Copies of this chain bind each other. A is one copy, B any other.
Amino acid sequence: MPRFLELKAVQKLQKLAADPIDLSKEGSLTPERIAKMRLSMKGFDLLFGTERVSEPVLEALYELAEEAQVQKKMASMQSGEILNKIENVESENRSVLHTAMRDQFEGKQTAPAAVEASGKAAKELQKLEKFLAKVDSENKFTDIVQIGIGGSDLGPRALCLALEAYARPDRRAHFISNVDPDDTNTVFNGLDLNKTLVVVVSKSGSTLETVTNEEFARARFKKKGLDPKNHVLAVTGEKSPMDDPSRYLASFYIWDFIGGRYSATSMVGAVTLGFTLGFNGLKEILRGAHTMDHHALTAPLKENLPLTSALLGIWNRNFLQLPTVAIIPYSQALIRFPAHLQQLDMESNGKRIDKTGKAADFSTGPVIWGEPGTNGQHSFYQLIHQGTNIVPLEFMGFRNSQREHDLEVQSTFSQEKLLSNLFAQSIALAGGQKNENPNKFFPGNRPNRILLADRLDPFTMGAILAYYEHKVAFQGFIWNINSFDQEGVQLGKVLALKIIDLFKERRTKEKAAAFPLGAAYLKILNEKS
């Protein structure tokens, strides 16, 4: 497999990037272009007429996909071959099988590793279904607190918020992630512990923040005279320190072929989502994700939505040299979804070496950030329209609102106003506007694309989740990097434990001498300025 910069299509694209289409030029941005640069699939539309691509650029991008064998790699991934690995270097050595979690419908994978993984997932789902039925029949619990951090928090939290309109009216979800005593107290202060379940999520069973917050939770139950064993659930890896059913009301498994940031559709997300939405709501999420998995795997290159989005991202990143991406859902319910995508993308593709073990001599994953629209329009869009750096945008929009209650004010509904703003921004950013007053001049050529769907329901949410997972995976395939490890988080953990040791030992001289930088900060901490 040639390295990224050696791919023929890369060289072709570099030439094309010397003179990309100018969307601000009269006649560039036409209704025909918008109508043509569109891919559709089961209620989803990807609209990319407002990206800075021409037909030859698109052709070269699809050649790049072919040359990088992305379809073969996607098939390898979904069938359970070892993709989480780096050649010539000590590294993880694992399958990547988050797709098996939702491979529970028609058109199943047949490769043995994938079959085994989806079978394990099916078993946990059955356990969960039984457990939830028991909870229903006992009618005792109204609230669930998920304790977890990173992938054990961001995806499940984003999905719970996104689907609140579909939650059972008698059920609420809460989340604790940070090792911040104020946050833990704030969440627990509002709860009736008699009616509260806690689900502790840690694959290793030893995550510092999570273990600490579990102790917090157990102490709270005990203080109320309640036995934590009747309230606390575990989601963890087999044989982890948390794999001890005697301490938990119920236990569910995850495995090392599920990365944290890809775990929302495993038991990591399933317990809380199943509790709040009901088991059928959870299954709809899985069905949506599976539908997108199947599309990513089987759709031809030029009809493949997540692949096309990945290629447009590569064009912006490696050829137009744009270092960030803003994700802007025109839906307030998706307020925490950009934070999930931030982890998904930046932890997967923020890498400095490729899979051959050599330093990357090209840009890997961009900085991902974002907030819902229209909110962003009243905030950071000033810079997006007129700043000195160009920020590509990925918009999301929905034909219909989640709830039926909308109000006509000045002859339009709110959902119509929301969509009007989305389309207006897409046009304004791409096309810009001339003006003799330099402060009212909009340069345009701000690339953006829109993912449009019918309604943000559980099925659609699952599909959008998988759309982004596959966009990220396809980009990693093209760059030939390992999108599935995260060695870059280790050093900070090690140093944090050294400083915790300094606190523990009340700063004995020997410990301080062994880590003088940490001791310097602790000294400042103790001096009231």
Contact of A385 among B44, B381, B384, B491 (CB under 8 A): B491
Please state if A439 and B382 are interface contacts (CB–CB under 8 Å): no
Q: Determine if A240 is an interface residue (Cβ-Cβ < 8 Å).
A: no
Given the interface pairs A31-B520, A363-B389, A491-B428, the reply to whether A86 lies near B423 with Cβ below 8 Å is: no
Q: Determine if A5 is an interface residue (Cβ-Cβ < 8 Å).
A: no
Q: Determine if A273 is an interface residue (Cβ-Cβ < 8 Å).
A: no
Q: Determine if A528 is an interface residue (Cβ-Cβ < 8 Å).
A: yes
The proximity string for A residues 258-290 relative to B, scoring 1 for CB distances below 8 Å and 0 otherwise, is 001100000000000000000000000000000
Q: Which residues of B contact A504 (CB under 8 A)?
A: 410-412
Given the interface pairs A381-B492, A383-B367, the reply to whether A438 lies near B357 with Cβ below 8 Å is: yes
Please state if B367 and A367 are interface contacts (CB–CB under 8 Å): yes
Please state if A424 and B485 are interface contacts (CB–CB under 8 Å): no
The smallest beta-carbon distance between A10 and chain B, in angstroms, is 16
Which of A63-71, A112-120, A210-218 binds B? A210-218
Please state if A353 and B438 are interface contacts (CB–CB under 8 Å): yes
Q: Which residues of B contact A427 (CB under 8 A)?
A: 495, 517-518, 521
Q: Determine if A360 is an interface residue (Cβ-Cβ < 8 Å).
A: yes
Please state if A387 and B346 are interface contacts (CB–CB under 8 Å): yes
Closest to A353 in B: B438
What's the Cα separation between A212 and B412 when bound, in Å? 10
What's the Cα separation between A154 and B379 when bound, in Å? 9
Please state if A43 and B528 are interface contacts (CB–CB under 8 Å): yes
Most interface-central of A369, A411, A423 (chain B CB within 10 A): A423
Quick one: which of A435-459 are within 8 Å of B by CB? 437-443, 452, 454
Q: Which residues of B contact A241 (CB under 8 A)?
A: none
Q: Determine if A185 is an interface residue (Cβ-Cβ < 8 Å).
A: yes
The smallest beta-carbon distance between A440 and chain B, in angstroms, is 5
The smallest beta-carbon distance between A2 and chain B, in angstroms, is 19
What's the Cα separation between A347 and B42 when bound, in Å? 38
What's the Cα separation between A4 and B419 when bound, in Å? 40
Q: Which residues of B contact A184 (CB under 8 A)?
A: 414
Quick one: which of A495-529 are within 8 Å of B by CB? 495-500, 502-504, 516-525, 528-529
Q: Determine if A388 is an interface residue (Cβ-Cβ < 8 Å).
A: yes
Q: Determine if A14 is an interface residue (Cβ-Cβ < 8 Å).
A: no
Q: Determine if A82 is an interface residue (Cβ-Cβ < 8 Å).
A: no
Which of A133-141, A175-183, A470-478 binds B? A175-183
Quick one: which of A312-359 are within 8 Å of B by CB? 323-324, 330-333, 339, 342-343, 346-347, 349-353, 357-359
What's the Cα separation between A490 and B389 when bound, in Å? 19
Q: Which residues of B contact A42 (CB under 8 A)?
A: 529
Q: Which residues of B contact A494 (CB under 8 A)?
A: 424
Please state if A500 and B363 are interface contacts (CB–CB under 8 Å): no
The smallest beta-carbon distance between A63 and chain B, in angstroms, is 24
Given A209-B374, A411-B504, 15 other A-B contacts at CB below 8 A? Answer: A30-B517, A47-B524, A89-B437, A149-B374, A154-B379, A179-B418, A180-B414, A181-B405, A352-B386, A352-B387, A417-B496, A419-B499, A423-B522, A424-B493, A452-B524
Question: What are 26 sample pairs from A and B whose C-beta atoms fall under 8 A apart?
Answer: A30-B516, A34-B524, A35-B520, A91-B439, A150-B379, A154-B375, A177-B375, A179-B374, A180-B418, A181-B403, A181-B407, A182-B401, A184-B414, A215-B409, A346-B387, A349-B383, A350-B386, A357-B439, A367-B391, A382-B488, A420-B496, A421-B492, A425-B495, A427-B495, A428-B491, A452-B525
The 10 closest A-B pairs by CB, nearest first: A350-B383, A150-B378, A40-B529, A183-B332, A424-B495, A31-B520, A369-B369, A343-B379, A350-B387, A386-B488
